[in-house]
Amino acid sequence: MLAEPFELRCGAVLPHRIVKSALSEQLGDRHNRPSVDLISLYRTWARGGAGALISGNVMVDPTALGEPRNVAIPVVPDPVDYKPWAESVASTGAQLWAQLNHPGRQSPRFLSRQPVAPSAVPFADRGIRSVFATPRALTSAEVEALVERFVLAASTFADAGFAGIQLHGAHGYLISQFLSPLTNQRTDEWGGDAVRRRRFLLELVRRIRAELPARVPLSVKLNSADFQRGGFTEEESLEVVRELGEAGLDLLEISGGTYEKAAMMGVTRASSVRREAYFLDYAAKARKVSDVALMVTGGFATVDGMNEALRSGALDVIGLGRPMIVDPELPRRLLAGADVRAERLCPKTGIRLADSLLEIQWHTQQMHRVAAGKPVDKRRGAWRSLITAGVSDPLNAFRRVRA
């Protein structure tokens, strides 16, 4: 089944079932536009055989970044600026989709002294709170304006030639913050109960679906749960899945966790490891409440494991993220029947907070090597990676041209 084409609700067809899920590349230029290295990275991945490539964070507000080198659309965007990126996959058969995002409170202090969020709720973890300032609550008018920013971004990337759009509604970013009762404590039309908490996401989907050309697919990356006491629950998530299907969504990618509880970084439950996929149980439940196409990312390692998951009927598309950094040719090799495994090679320090940062930084630095035409450095050490990140992130923030 892995090699079979798959038709989405809008009529667009994926050439097969392997999709590169979003990875935050940190390869925007000083103006937060796509750099030459970013285009080179996607050309390499497209040649590696993935059916579709979902970009990393494209921020819809140039003043709200999760990382200093995010691509971000300016106040008045021009699709021409993004055409070379869209054309990076030309003649490969791959499709390039843009993932749109807003960090909300997950914008570090060296980028945002006071980020915005649904409510003024700081991080509970002291270590994380030292990195992220307490946010300011958005006004109702600002929420409406952010909806417009997402719609503008989606139409800009469609006009630039991107094959699809994904909204990042997981991992504790702004859309996820609206969904969670821990971070959305509003009592207006954007919060107060589960129905109003999901209004922001559903409004985005309805507005963007109406704006996009009919055959340009719209996807959402959604948390199965926050995995935090009092947070976004699985029951609430399944209700969101049902409504997303009714709103005309083409593809739902399932993930889970936040910066405080990073379930998307891996699990230790024996059943999940044995079946490879982290969120397969949830996908089976989502299948019962909606016929929207489902994609699961995280944990897949072998062709057999991927095909078994597809045959179970719980999902339609296999997402591969960090393994495609380690081996950019992985999809082509898997589809050819090679005896290969999707590897995760990141080293560890044994310090919880350091290792959560290292998982991102080690892979980001490897992406930069691939983008520059260099081989992956599998021997790159933990402390070297962290020290490099500690120097480069503030330096990139300083170099960035302010909006």
pLDDT in tens, 81-115: 999 999 999 999 999 999 999 999 999 999 999 99
Q: Model confidence at 401, in pLDDT bands (50, 70, 90)?
A: low
Residue type, 295: M
pLDDT of 228: 67
pLDDT tens digits, 159-183: 999 999 999 999 999 999 999 999 9
CATH of the domain at 124: 3.20.20.70
Residues sharing a CB contact under 8 Å with residue 202, sequence separation 6 or more, in sequence order: 240, 243, 244, 247
141 burial via Cβ count (<10 Å: 0-12, 13-18, 19+)? exposed
pLDDT of 396: 78
Determine the structural domain holding residue 246 and report its residue range: 6-344
pTM to 2 decimal places: 0.93
The dihedral region occupied by 311, where left means phi > 0, alpha psi between -120 and 50, and beta the remainder, is alpha
pLDDT of 304: 92
Per-residue pLDDT, averaged over 198-210, amounts to 98
DSSP state of 332: H
pLDDT of 231: 80
In a domain, 327, yes or no: yes
Asked whether residue 320 carries a pLDDT value surpassing 90, the answer given is: yes
In a domain, 246, yes or no: yes
In a domain, 367, yes or no: no
In a domain, 111, yes or no: yes
Per-residue pLDDT, averaged over 205-234, amounts to 90
Q: Is-contact 340 330, C-beta < 8 A?
A: yes
In 3D space, the residue among 167, 287, 262, 271 whose CA is nearest the CA of residue 220 turns out to be 167
pLDDT of 160: 98
Provide the percentage of residues in the chain whose pLDDT is more than 90: 78
pLDDT tens digits, 32-73: 999 999 999 999 999 999 999 999 999 999 999 999 999 999
Q: Is 326 strand, coil or helix?
A: helix
CA 166/CA 22 separation, integer angstroms: 9
In a domain, 359, yes or no: no
Q: Model confidence at 273, in pLDDT bands (50, 70, 90)?
A: very low
Domain count, the chain: 1
Asked whether residue 230 carries a pLDDT value surpassing 90, the answer given is: no
Asked whether residue 265 carries a pLDDT value surpassing 50, the answer given is: no
What mean pLDDT value characterizes the chain?
A: 91
pLDDT tens digits, 341-385: 887 788 899 898 788 889 889 999 999 999 999 999 999 999 999
In 3D space, the residue among 331, 241, 245 whose CA is nearest the CA of residue 279 turns out to be 241
Q: Which of 143-147, 228-232, 265-269, 318-322 has the lowest mean pLDDT?
A: 265-269
pLDDT of 313: 94
In a domain, 48, yes or no: yes
CA 197/CA 118 separation, integer angstroms: 10
In a domain, 372, yes or no: no
pLDDT of 200: 98
In a domain, 397, yes or no: no
In 3D space, the residue among 320, 389, 256, 369 whose CA is nearest the CA of residue 48 turns out to be 320
Per-residue pLDDT, averaged over 135-145, amounts to 98
Partners of 251 in the β-ladder: 219, 293
Q: Model confidence at 260, in pLDDT bands (50, 70, 90)?
A: low
